[in-house]
Amino acid sequence: MSARTNTRLFLLNPDMTNSLNRVQALGQESPSARIRLEEFVELAKRGLPQMYADGAFAHTVRAVKTSSGRAVKPEGDSLRYATNVALGVSYLDEGTQRDILAGDTAAELALTTAWRARTSDDPGAVALAAWAAAEVADFYAESLLDRLARLLASDEPIATVDCSWTLIAALAARHLGDTEGVTALAADRLMEAQGPSGIFPHMLPASANGRLRAHVGCFADQVYSTQGLARLSVAQDDPAALAAAEACAARICELQGSAGQWWWHYDVRNGTVVEGYPVYSVHQHAMGPMALLDLREAGGTPHWNAMIKGLDWIDRHPEVSSVMVCEEDAVIWRKAGRREPNKAVRAVSAMTTALMPGLHLPGLDAIFPPNRIDYECRPYELGWLLYAWLSGGAVERLRAGG
């Protein structure tokens, strides 16, 4: 029996063990949070099919007015998001996979994305495709990993998220081929860039982000770095990697908003918030928990209170009175953000904090209040929701050498 089949048995039969069932573990901390999370999982199963067509996932579905009221309309095509969904849907039973993917399985989608990634010039999409190919389809995407290794070995900058995904992909594929070189390159890049408070920059090296933004790292940079280093610590029994993941997780949890908000931009130099908004729903229900649960399963601190507060924000957000969850359209709206032109507050905050850490112009919240909902939902948000809460066992497989 494969490790992946084993994982599915644990998920389908929670009486077997608690170690791999994240939803059940959440319920032990907060029964109400578990109930709500299970509702989100069912919503994701209903919402994803409307985003899928002809073997590809849309970039987004956006609310539009119709003669009968409102509907959501798919727009664009995203290789990244298709890969995110393949990873999340792979932890559902095969029948549900086929219902969501118009007859295909998650493994078939993962192989399709790996094929498409061969001609992609997006390192993030390449890394995600290699990760999904290994974890979902047991396929060694050697050409994709070789491309990523060459990029990391060069002097070219790389986005922190792309580097983290490369690390995770290499770890996922290590039982299929030789990934030691790319693993070491990605881990070294991440570890060298981490700030003294645990925060990671947006680019590696940080200077590649420009003089006024070299000090800034976004929430995604923290999440995927924490996730990758937590997995590395298990795969290689590396206490330094675990300590780095712990430091980052501890800092973002310390900075979490009073209503559970995971803030957007952080200062690498001193670990303060550069700009809090928008607050993205995917950060709350998926990405924050995804990193913190991996850290917990790697032997790190279990940040349950932070995860539960983050989930709670989806329904009890102080910024806006409208609901974030739309059961009718089977979506969770993308974010609560400011009413501002061209991300003005982000630009101003990056500039003032570049001049002096912690320096913010007074009155920005009053002038540009964060009271606007973005009525769109992207496939990766629901894919990551499934992956975050159903993928317990991915870390365990690394511990077992798989």
Q: Each residue of 55-114: pLDDT tens digit?
A: 899 999 999 988 777 889 999 999 999 999 999 999 999 999 999 999 999 999 999 999
> Residue 337: which domain range?
3-399
> Which residue(s) pair with 141 in the sheet?
none
Tell me: pLDDT of 16 over 70: no
Q: Where residue 17 falls among pLDDT bands split at 50, 70, 90?
A: very low
In the chain, the number of structural domains is 1
Predicted pLDDT at 400: 83
pLDDT number for residue 296:
97
pLDDT tens per residue across span 104-135? 999 999 999 999 999 999 999 999 999 999 99
| b/e burial code for range 280-302 (CB count within 10 A of at least 16 → b) | bbbbbbbbbbbbbbbbbbbebee
Per-residue pLDDT, averaged over 356-376, amounts to 94
CA distance 42 to 95: 14
Q: Is the pLDDT of residue 6 over 60?
A: no
Q: Please give the average per-residue pLDDT across 222-244, as a whole number.
A: 98
Q: Residue 147's pLDDT is what?
A: 98
Per residue in 23-55, pLDDT (tens digit) is 999 999 999 999 999 999 999 999 999 999 988
Q: Is pLDDT above 70 for 248?
A: yes
Q: Within 13 Å, how many C-alpha atoms sit on residue 311's CB side?
A: 29
User: Is residue 77 within 8 Å of residue 120, measured between CB atoms?
Assistant: no
pLDDT for the residue 208: 96
pLDDT in tens, 168-201: 999 999 999 999 999 999 999 999 999 999 999 9
Q: How far is CA 149 from the centre of its chain?
A: 22
Contacts (Cβ under 8 Å, ≥6 apart) of 330: 43, 46, 47, 50
| Chain CA centroid to CA 42, Å | 19
Could you give the C-alpha distances from 34 to 48, 72, 307, in angstroms and in order?
21, 28, 11
Tell me the CA distances in angstroms from 82 to 58, 62, 86, 287, one per residue in order: 8, 17, 6, 17
Q: What is the mean pLDDT of residues 307-317?
A: 98
Per-residue confidence (pLDDT) for residue 401, from 0 to 100: 80
In which band, very low, low, confident or very high, does the pLDDT at 20 lie, cut at 50, 70 and 90?
low
Beta strands in 281-388 (DSSP E): 325-326, 331-332, 335-337, 372-374, 376-377
Q: How many CB atoms lie within 10 A of CB 24?
A: 17
Q: Residue 29 — φ and ψ, nearest 5°?
A: -85, -40
- pLDDT digits over 204-228, tens only? 999 999 999 999 999 999 999 999 9
Indicate the residue type of 220.
Answer: A
**Among the residues of 118-155, which ranges form H helices?**
123-137, 142-153
C-alpha closest to that of 308 among 384, 231, 253, 390: 253
What is the rounded distance in angstroms from the CA atom of residue 286 to the CA atom of residue 332?
12
CATH of the domain at 273: 1.50.10.10
Reported as a single tens digit per residue, the pLDDT across 324-351 is 999 999 999 999 999 988 889 999 999 9
Residue 5's pLDDT band (boundaries 50, 70, 90)? very low
